Structure 1
Amino acid sequence: MGSMLLEQVKHTRKFLRHDQLKTIFEEFDVQCMSLSEEQRLEKYRTMLDSPFRFFRGSAYLFYYDMTKTPSIFHTPDAKPTWIQGDMHMDNFGAFQNETGDIVYDVNDFDEGYVGSYLYDVIRMSVSIALYIEEQGLHNGAQEMAIHHFLRSYISQLTRFQRKQDDPLTLTFTKNNTKGPIKKVLKKLEKRQHSHLLQDITHINEDGNRVFLWNDEVQPVSNEEIAAITKTLPNYSIKDIAIKYGSGTASIGLKRYYILVDGATDALGVGDLVLEMKEVRTAIPAYFLPYHKTFWTHYEHQGARVVGTQKAMHHLEDPHLAYVTMDGQEYYIRERSPYKKKVKPKNYTDLDDYFVTTSIMGQIAAKIHARADIDYSDVFTYHSEDAILIAIGKHKDYFIESVTLQAMHYKEIVYSDYELFKEWVNDTFS
């Protein structure tokens, strides 16, 4: 092939993908999310931080691509799994559960939906590759970390199927974890309940505890105060703030912090912070088969997020709720003072990555196995049975297949990231 012809092929391929990206981002961020140009720019600037951050903020692109790729490992449409919907390395973390225990689990449920388990598994596997490459580690290390995640996922599903563990009661604490996760959990034991309050509130000149304003925590209008107070009549509200700078995909959605007096957390301590977050239709819903029973139960998108968290967590936040305010749907949960992620600085060697992704595999299996007939009448079967049937007897082939797909898609993410940078510069400069 001549050099001129080769360049034309490259140009056409790049042009077509560039046009796809532009169409998808404008459809979801403008038409579906109704983001202003300022909000879009804030979101896109965050996504420009790295290919991993870009991946986090473009779940709709992932589902657009992945739902066009058939696999023998999908469960049948008639036997979907309740999936987390946006599974990646940064959507796991520590927090305090209802009984006061500090646990490690999935901590984001905004994209919870029903569909093949494989979308969670592949999205998580791609994120492992992106995350580890960002730390300067080679493809072999990335593939091995994915293998640990997948083997642990299958092994834990098998333990549930054999009744060796119960997804309703299995928790991940300092007593049954290792490596960076165990260290984070042990460190959090020393944290005081007042840690969050000390960080984001202060006592004003009138002797009242109120929010401390900074770049991320800002005052709200009188109209918002009135609307939130009316929406939450059962709480004694001391102060309200709007929170900026959290997440990636959710940038542009309203997120309020509400300082509440008289309510108590898991240990009975008063003065806590509630998070009230705007929510939209789950991204997977645009691409996966319609599930009438699920939509009947969770037509309100706040109810869907709350339902997902209740289904996947062993114990629920006592303040979980959903509301509608000014025509927008929200969910409410406690902002835990013990919330913490495993960060890159917590990894000291390759084994730390392997141990961590293995535990994440167990957690992924737990949330899939728990959120079925054990919890919800949306399901009439055990998800672990359906998933293990889909994987079949050739587990090594499944692991190699998913790893190959994840590593291939990682390269697509890197290519898309470069196109995305060009598009943002051309569009918003």
Structure 2
Amino acid sequence: MALATAGLLFASAAQAATSRTSWVVSQIYGYNHPLAATDSADLATKMSTMAASAFDFYRGTDHIFYQDMATLPASAYTTAQTGFTWIGGDAHIGNFGAWQDSSGNNVFSADDFDEGYLGQYVWDLRRLATSMVLAGRANGIADNDITTAIKTMVAAYMSEMSDFKGSSDELSFQLKNGNTSGVVQDTIGDSKGDSRSSLLSKYTQLSGSTRSFQTIANTLVPVNSSTYSAISAAMNSYIGSISSSKRYAASYYQVKDIRQKLGSGVGSLGKLRYYVLIEGASSSTSDDVILELKQELASAVAEVDNGQLSAADYGNNEAQRVALTAKAQTLNADVLIGYANINGMAFYFHEKSPFEEDFDFTQLSSAGKLNTAATYLGQALASAHAISDQDYNSAIVSYSIDKQVTDAVSSTSGLQSEISTFAFNYAAQVTLDWQSFVSAYDAGTALY
């Protein structure tokens, strides 16, 4: 069936939510069980977190979302060419935030790249819009107002893509304090007010002239000697993964201490995560740097279009894929982004930035706040898609995605309605799936 025809069917017929308990339990077990041998404590945290709300369940099950994308009808506003958009893959409302880029600008953007892959741009729009339904309802916002916010987000996305078409504006566009308002502007302001000393005080301690990590129960815990040695040994490979033009002197990367980080995120719980304290620019303890190392698996997007992004493009290394996505989708990217294998597992490296602020969706406590934020969410997503096409690496995406998307969307109002309809229908499915999960969780069913 042609994409356009399938999309029209989808738009005209309600997508009925169905109970599928055994399938959901099987999917969750199959995805998480391979991680149980290395990080069962975090998997227990993941399950209890997902049981708390439909939105938390949604955050932890992007693999289910893409299984569904493989079977649900396509959009009326896609083409073969738009299927080569470099998407984030997990564009829910909690995966945006503020940070300070490598040029010192405090900006708001997409900030999670674990599932980065080539796919249809509408998958990011669908996933974001569905998260707006779940988060909006959790905040007590009426469905009519959530619908308005989704349409605002889609309109902002399309307006920005249209602006980028035929220009190079995407290579300078950033959301900053001066062109934002509301909760997004507040998040940028919080980032601007952060400091390296505050981050170091939170996680480290000084003993004389020596800085080391604190041990924080259920948050930051020691690693055994073999893991410590394996991470230390991987540093040279990591440094080699950084472009020579962005590489510091070897002394910058000198390892001072290592801890395992527990309890971060939702979907990524169960994947190993480490913090590595390194020397930084000088021998002073005031400019020490924390690197975050995160185990990476195959992208969930590959479940629906495996091979769209050639493994050769990322060296058949999933951490390299994530590093490429992070650099492709952000202007003035973190210069410490890199990757290495540790004990046979792929790890994505980046700075645990002192200036990083997560976007707190619970602050979107009114229709007006959600609608204001929706504009910036749409713009941020458009920016990520537009700068990661031929502008980043024409060998991976050989043309302008902003042009392809703009040309494919014959009606912005049509796309708004389609995405909104999808979001509410899929939120109903997520809620049913969550209820199935909770029943299994409460019954003690093996989920990992």
**Structure-2-length-normalised TM-score:** 0.86
- Cα separation, 2, equivalents of 1:224 and 1:44: 26
Deviation at 1:66, TM superposition (A): 2.2
Alignment correspondent of 1:63: 66
Deviation at 1:171, TM superposition (A): 1.2
Alignment correspondent of 2:10: none
Q: Read off the aligned partner of 1:306 and give its amino acid letter.
A: A
Change (3 A) 1:32 1:60: farther
Corresponding position: 1:251 with 2:251: no
- Among 80, 93, 100, the alignment partner of 2:97 is 93
Give the conservation status (yes or no) of the 8 Å contact 1:95–1:340. yes
Q: How does 1:355-370 map to 2 (within 5 A)?
A: 355-370=372-387
Deviation at 1:49, TM superposition (A): 1.7
Alignment correspondent of 1:130: 134
- Cα separation, 2, equivalents of 1:255 and 1:179: 33
Deviation at 1:251, TM superposition (A): 0.8
Deviation at 1:39, TM superposition (A): 4.6
Give the conservation status (yes or no) of the 8 Å contact 2:36–2:43. no
- Among 422, 430, 438, the alignment partner of 1:421 is 438
Q: Read off the aligned partner of 1:169 and give its amino acid letter.
A: S
- Cα separation, 1, equivalents of 2:160 and 2:99: 22
Structure 1 residue matching 2:321: 3-state secondary structure: helix
> How many pairs does the alignment contain?
409
Corresponding position: 1:199 with 2:206: no
Residue by residue, what CA displacement relative to the aligned partner does 1:107-163 show, whole Å, maximum 9, x if unpaired?
Answer: 110000011111111000000111110001111111111111100000000000142
Long gaps (5+) in structure 2: 1-17, 237-249
Deviation at 1:34, TM superposition (A): 6.5
Alignment correspondent of 1:228: 231
Structure 2 residue matching 1:423: 3-state secondary structure: helix
- Among 199, 203, 211, the alignment partner of 2:213 is 211
Deviation at 1:361, TM superposition (A): 0.2
Give the conservation status (yes or no) of the 8 Å contact 1:306–1:322. yes
Residue by residue, what CA displacement relative to the aligned partner does 1:274-327 show, whole Å, maximum 9, x if unpaired?
Answer: 101111111111222422645443411111000001100001111111101111
* Identity across matched positions, percent: 27
Change (3 A) 1:181 1:247: same
- Among 373, 390, 400, the alignment partner of 2:408 is 390
Change (3 A) 1:179 1:78: closer
Corresponding position: 1:288 with 2:305: yes
Deviation at 1:415, TM superposition (A): 1.1
Give the conservation status (yes or no) of the 8 Å contact 2:82–2:404. no
Change (3 A) 1:189 1:37: closer
**Structure-1-length-normalised TM-score:** 0.90
Q: Which one has more relative contact order, counting CA pairs under 8 Å at least 6 apart?
A: 2
- Among 193, 211, 219, the alignment partner of 1:190 is 193
Q: Read off the aligned partner of 1:213 and give its amino acid letter.
A: T
Q: Read off the aligned partner of 2:342 and give its amino acid letter.
A: M
- Cα separation, 2, equivalents of 1:262 and 1:315: 19
Corresponding position: 1:405 with 2:422: yes
- Cα separation, 2, equivalents of 1:136 and 1:300: 42
Structure 1 residue matching 2:129: 3-state secondary structure: helix
Q: How does 1:375-386 map to 2 (within 5 A)?
A: 375-376=392-393, 377-386=395-404
Give the conservation status (yes or no) of the 8 Å contact 2:87–2:119. yes
Alignment correspondent of 1:8: none
- Cα separation, 2, equivalents of 1:154 and 1:292: 24
Q: How does 1:240-279 map to 2 (within 5 A)?
A: 240-263=258-281, 270-279=287-296
Structure 1 residue matching 2:123: 3-state secondary structure: helix
Alignment correspondent of 1:10: none
Deviation at 1:31, TM superposition (A): 4.7
Change (3 A) 1:355 1:420: same
Change (3 A) 1:78 1:161: closer
Deviation at 1:32, TM superposition (A): 7.8
Alignment correspondent of 1:171: 174
Change (3 A) 1:203 1:37: closer
Q: How does 1:2-17 map to 2 (within 5 A)?
A: 14=19, 17=20
Deviation at 1:345, TM superposition (A): 5.2
- Cα separation, 2, equivalents of 1:95 and 1:197: 17
Alignment correspondent of 1:7: none
Structure 1 residue matching 2:443: 3-state secondary structure: helix
Alignment correspondent of 2:80: 76
Q: Read off the aligned partner of 1:130 and give its amino acid letter.
A: L
Deviation at 1:99, TM superposition (A): 1.3
Q: Read off the aligned partner of 1:48 and give its amino acid letter.
A: A
Which region of structure 1 is more displaced relative to structure 2, 33-42 or 100-109?
33-42
Alignment correspondent of 1:150: 154
Give the conservation status (yes or no) of the 8 Å contact 2:109–2:380. yes
Structure 2 residue matching 1:118: 3-state secondary structure: helix
Corresponding position: 1:351 with 2:368: yes
- Cα separation, 2, equivalents of 1:45 and 1:146: 29
Alignment correspondent of 1:104: 108
- Cα separation, 1, equivalents of 2:380 and 2:390: 18
Superposition CA RMSD, Å: 2.1
Give the conservation status (yes or no) of the 8 Å contact 1:210–1:259. yes
Give the conservation status (yes or no) of the 8 Å contact 1:33–1:280. no
Which region of structure 1 is more displaced relative to structure 2, 44-53 or 187-196?
187-196
